[in-house]
Amino acid sequence: MNGAESYYRATAPGECYAPLSGSHRARVCIIGAGFAGLATAMSLVEHGERDVALLEAESVGHGASGRNGGFVFGGYSLDEQALLATVGAEQGRRLYQLTLGAVDQIRRRITRYGIECDATHGGIYLANWFDDPRVLDERQRFMQEHLGVEWQRIARADFAERARSERYFGALYEENAFHFHPLKYAQGLARALHAGGVRLHEGSRATTIEARSNGGWRVATDAGEVLADEVVVCCGGYIERLYPALAGAILPIATYVMVTEPLGARMPQALATDAAIYDTRFAFDYYRPLRDSRMLWGGRISVRSRSPEDVARLLYADMLKVYPQLEGARVEYAWSGLMSYGRHKMPQLGKLPNGVWYGMGFGGHGVGPTSLAGDVLSAALMGELSKVEQFATWGLPTTGGPAGLLAAQLTYWYYELRDWMRQ
């Protein structure tokens, strides 16, 4: 197996941005160069604000933004029924539509900034793992009646022709969705930001965020500082001890991904579509064909990361349950990464009482919502608060630290058992 951290990193080394050194001023300092931080900076630039410093502890896209499955579609980790039950039909529909707008925005930015990120506009299938047509019937009806979204129903035999697997019982097809190389997209945003005047610094872990006596903030790193009017924390599952008021409101949850060797002529034996696929279980498989004829396969949820060898072993077995015809295909890359979940499974967007802005909690369904977060936070930074106020319902409830992690693992095991019994 390849020793590189991930397939994404091996195929997108990216540019390097110098660490912060010395003292600098900025109107806005953003901490974290994942999708949320990059999108916030990009929305600011697109609205004329270029006095922005962006600090990244590692490298652009180091966390979940550069390790995920690469699915770009609507929705949040909180399912649509729960979303509408929480805030009502009108606001729930409006919030869901914002994520569809984010998908369109990502497409526009890929074109506008010439980002080569292997975007594949083949849609995404939700495949039914269970021999129960009501699973798809109810989902399709709900999406159409309550959210105005038309997902195409695909019969079992038709889907088996496209997915080349007898494991599923039909599917729903989301035509507007697509998939891409997430790290290349993150790096493309970074290049555009750098060209637009944003000061981007890698290897610049924020160690202190403190209010200044004369107003504004001081963000310190080991080798420098940024004196800013506003500060935005977009650190997700890698926030660690930077800011306890925020770190205590997320659970860093691991998920796993692997990539096979190039399959060449074997790929059509497994997939006769360029769409991405995920299934209807709580802890579902998600996978997609890559442009070099490899299969990317992800899944499982855990409170801990695993070695590449363990990830490869687990996911390879999962893949063969669906595609036994791929037995013998080598796994060349495998990795894990930490996502950030709020207890309520919605993005956490807002401002602490002391004035620190934050954008985090995108785990499980983050590509669209992180882009949306950039618009919401940039608007708030420029004085328009109506967008960010839409997310005030969920706030920052504590996740309970180690006890919360244990509860999350037990919940996962419960739903995994329930899915197993259901099938």
pTM for this structure? Answer: 0.94
Provide the pLDDT for residue 400: 59
Listed as ranges, residues in the chain with pLDDT below 50 are 414-415
- Contact yes or no for 180/104 (Cβ under 8 A): no
Between CA 107 and CA 329 the distance in angstroms is 33
The angle that helices 367-381 and 35-46 make with each other, rounded to 10 degrees, is: 40
By the 8 A CB rule, do 329 and 270 touch?
no
pLDDT value, residue 398: 72
Tell me how far apart the alpha carbons of residues 158 and 161 are, in angstroms, rounded to a whole number.
5
**How far is it, in rounded angstroms, from Cα 252 to Cα 329?**
32
* Residue 414: per-residue pLDDT: 44
For the chain, list the domains and their CATH numbers. 7-411 (3.50.50.60)
| pLDDT at residue number 245 | 83
Residue 373, φ and ψ in degrees, nearest 5: -60, -40
Burial 358-379 (b: 16+ CB within 10 A, else e): bbbbbbbbbbbbbbbbbbbbbb
CA-closest candidate to residue 219, choices 31, 19, 40, 27: 31
Residue 342 confidence (pLDDT) = 85
Can you give the C-alpha Rg of the chain in angstroms? 21
Which sign does the torsion angle of CA 204, 206, 207, 210 carry? positive
Q: Please give the Cα distance from 39 to 146 (Å, whole number).
A: 29
- HSE of 188, CA atoms in CB hemisphere, 13 A: 20
CB atoms within 10 A of CB 262: 15
Question: Rounded to an integer, what distance in angstroms lies between the CA atom of residue 368 and that of residue 365?
Answer: 7
Q: How far apart are CA 323 and CA 269, in angstroms?
A: 9
Q: Which of 340, 331, 358, 263 is nearest to 4 (CA)?
A: 331
